[in-house]
Amino acid sequence: MKRIYFKIIIIGALLSMACTTKVSEWVLLNSVPDTYLLVYFHKNEISETIKKQHSEIENQFQTANILLKTMQRDEVEKPYYALYFNNRLIKENIDENQLENLTFSPLRETVANELMNGKLCVMLYLKCGIPEKDEKGLEVVKNSVAASPYADVITVLELDRKNMEESQLVSLLLNVEDDLKEINEPMLFGVFGKFRALEPLLAKGISQENINLMIGFFTADCSCIIKDDLPGSSILYNGVWENPQTALVNKILDANPNLEHH
């Protein structure tokens, strides 16, 4: 009987810990990134060279949230790759040379490293190319983060929409929502977990109040409501998410219990 009581106490303790884990930490530890689909469209039989190439690609994609499939269609004149996410076309006419940059880029690696090092989130500021708007928005972001008690555990990174090296990342971010590509305004993406990007704040929505709400979302106790319907969209990334550092936000909360909110 004593063993049963002991087990009940242990399970109770684990459950109570689960409810006090912060959203950002819970998502990093428990959520699985949504999978992208790369389709190779072709008309004729696949040659041995292409089969070998696909085998190499699949090996490369082992740690990425992407699957490779082939599809034979009569109307295809020249074979090509197309990228889909949740049955939605993200990019088509991708050639072999672009595949390498599809899942990996320097900025994505930086973001992933920050998250793996225990940061609460990465605020990715996507510039629109209009200096007045970009500078105004960036100032609001920097001031808001600096004023937050969580400033030390938030990383702000900037990304130019016309950055060729990060063109795939820009494309993925602009596909987080259907209409983002048509909006030429600065955008602020809250990136957390295993490279999940929240629907962005944009234009006048980049305000101190909204940035504080974003921080509040990441620092909230993870409720079943959030777990069941996780907002945002997974970004395609090839990286290992094992053994992340302990969430740095917990140190801040331990030192300042008044910051706890439920």
Select from 75-83, 98-106, 199-207, 238-246 the region that touches other proteins (CB under 8 A): 199-207
Select from 4-12, 61-69, 104-112, 225-233 the region that touches other proteins (CB under 8 A): 225-233
Candidates 201, 236, 247, 253: give the one binding other proteins (CB under 8 A).
201
Instruction: Report yes or no: 198 and 138 within 8 Å, Cβ to Cβ.
Output: no
**CB of residue 161 to other proteins, shortest distance in Å:** 16
Select from 59-67, 124-132, 152-160, 200-208 the region that touches other proteins (CB under 8 A): 200-208
Q: Of 85 and 150, which CB lies nearer to other proteins in the complex structure?
A: 85
Candidates 37, 116, 203, 252: give the one binding other proteins (CB under 8 A).
203
* Binding status of residue 213 toward other proteins by CB under 8 A: yes
Select from 95-103, 133-141, 158-166, 174-182 the region that touches other proteins (CB under 8 A): 174-182
Candidates 214, 247, 249, 253: give the one binding other proteins (CB under 8 A).
214
Closest CA to 173 of 214, 133, 121, 127: 127
d(Cα 23, Cα 161) in Å, to the nearest integer?
A: 29
Number of residues that bind other proteins (CB under 8 A): 35
Candidates 85, 192, 195, 237: give the one binding other proteins (CB under 8 A).
85
Applying CB under 8 A, which residues contact other proteins?
19, 85-86, 88, 175-179, 183, 185, 198-205, 210, 213-214, 216-217, 220-221, 223-226, 229, 231-233, 262
